[in-house]
Amino acid sequence: MNDSFDRDIDRAGTFSTKYDGRAAMFGHPDVMPLWVADMDFAAPAAVTEALVARAAHPVYGYTLFPVSLYEALMDWLESRHGWKVEREWIILCPGVVPSLSTSILALSAPGDAVIVQPPVYFPFFSVVKKTGRTLLTSALQLEEGGYRMDVADLSRQAASARLLLLCSPHNPVGRVWSRPELEKVLEIARQHQLIILSDEIHADLIYPGNRHHILASLVDSPESIITAVAPSKTFNIPGLNLSALIVPHPQYRSAIRAQLEMMHVGASNPFSVVAFEAAYRGGREWLDTLMEYLATTRQMVQHYLAENLPEIRLIPSQGTYLLWLDCRALGMNDDELRQFFIFEAGIGMNPGISFGAEGGGFMRMNIGTPRHRIRKALESIRSALGQRESRLS
């Protein structure tokens, strides 16, 4: 099955954000796109087969969420993560970011403070600001072995906050938080009566030697924790826009449901329903093979940078298919970095500065593509740097 991940699939002309959105994003239609977080791999066969079978029925009307869909998610969480959830805790939502925004609206008041930990997935900033809440930041600290939370600062911020937006595993820095780290977060939440919105959309994308701990599974009474999960990143089906919130607290659950009802968000997409269930039922082997493939790609990037591009440092990555590259030694500001990668190297990546000021000097690389493309990208960067040095010498 590894061979299938090496296969080139032409996505141009499919209205793909990643490919057909290149000109709008980068001002250049032909950059190699290693940015937006979807993969260039075919989804698991079980998903495609389920979608084809559903498409064969020629009526695509309003659709219910079947009991079997809830059971598929519950079975996955228990078998893959050892977390047993109750059916009534699950609220299905049209994507993780909308679910976070809905939760903030339902569980806080205008002006209430929400903590984020930059550098972090950029919608975290907007879901706080656009809901009229006060943004507090507790920056992650970069050390030799990677990033860590500033627990003392987080505790100080929590004293005046209503909510914490936790990214676990963390996008973009690739940290899979350890159990002791998460237990400190739980302790802070208990001390300050903090509600935690835990975005665990990357929970299944963990490299060997690391283990993801679902935050709510670490406590006997997880009522103050709302967990966002989805098959979208795991099985490469983000365009189908179906996710779930796991909400043990009945009053929080009622408030979130009321918010969704107020926005008339309820009807599901017939294709999202069948893909969601098929992924969790039939995607396990595909996922295991994917992670082997990505781990090898990650190792290749690490070795290539160390041997050929020592000015660019790969921050140790424990999970996700997104690599965090420290480019500060190149001596360019953020505008210069962006221009260099796009117009000299021909590579479209996410500038680190978009993940908060703490991301300045970094770039986020998506390695969810055939490995030969990543090698070609690295060689293009090396060549462009060589040419730049020749011009400046």
pLDDT score of 125: 98
Within 8 A by CB and 6+ apart from 387, the residues are 344
- For residues 179 and 317, state if they share a domain: no
Domain-embedded: residue 393:
no
- For residues 229 and 359, state if they share a domain: no
Domain-embedded: residue 190:
yes
Within 8 A by CB and 6+ apart from 46, the residues are 278, 279, 281, 282, 283, 286
Cα separation, 274 vs 7, in Å, equals 25
- For residues 243 and 331, state if they share a domain: no
Q: How many domains does the chain have?
A: 2
- For residues 183 and 204, state if they share a domain: yes
Whether 1 shows a pLDDT value over 60: the answer reads: no
What are 366's strand-pairing partners? 322
CA distances from 68 to 21, 72, 191, 210, 279 (A): 36, 6, 39, 31, 13
Of 282, 311, 326, the residue at which a domain comes to its end is 282
| 363 SS3 class | strand
pLDDT score of 393: 72
pLDDT score of 2: 59
- For residues 274 and 301, state if they share a domain: no
Q: Give the N- to C-terminal CA distance of the chain in Å, as an integer.
A: 47
Phi, psi of 211 (to 5 degrees): -135, 130
Q: Which domain holds residue 308?
A: 2-44+284-387
Q: What is the pLDDT of residues 23-73, one digit of tens each?
A: 999 999 999 999 999 999 999 999 999 999 999 999 999 999 999 999 999
Domain-embedded: residue 392:
no
Whether 267 shows a pLDDT value over 70: the answer reads: no
pLDDT score of 266: 75
Residues written for the chain: 393
- For residues 288 and 265, state if they share a domain: no
- CATH number of the domain within which 297 lies: 3.90.1150.10
CA-wise closest residue to 172 among 202, 143, 198, 149: 202
CA distances from 392 to 34, 329, 332, 387 (A): 28, 16, 14, 9
Cα separation, 233 vs 212, in Å, equals 15
Domain-embedded: residue 107:
yes
Of 261, 282, 303, the residue at which a domain comes to its end is 282
Domain-embedded: residue 355:
yes
Please give the structure tokens belonging to residue 67: 């009991």
CA distances from 108 to 80, 98, 102, 309 (A): 32, 15, 10, 47
What is the percent of the chain where pLDDT is above 90? 96
Q: What is the pLDDT of residues 131-176, one digit of tens each?
A: 999 999 999 999 988 999 999 999 999 999 999 999 999 999 999 9
Cα separation, 102 vs 106, in Å, equals 6
Please list the alpha-helical segments (H only) found in the chain.
2-5, 17-20, 22-26, 45-56, 67-81, 96-107, 123-129, 151-158, 179-192, 232-235, 250-262, 270-282, 284-308, 334-339, 371-392
- CATH number of the domain within which 86 lies: 3.40.640.10
Of 260, 282, 304, the residue at which a domain comes to its end is 282
pLDDT score of 145: 83
- For residues 7 and 85, state if they share a domain: no
pLDDT score of 15: 97
Within 8 A by CB and 6+ apart from 211, the residues are 176
- For residues 191 and 277, state if they share a domain: yes
Q: What is the per-residue DSSP string for 304-319?
A: HHHHH-TTSEEPP--B
CA-wise closest residue to 239 among 277, 198, 271: 271
- For residues 325 and 364, state if they share a domain: yes
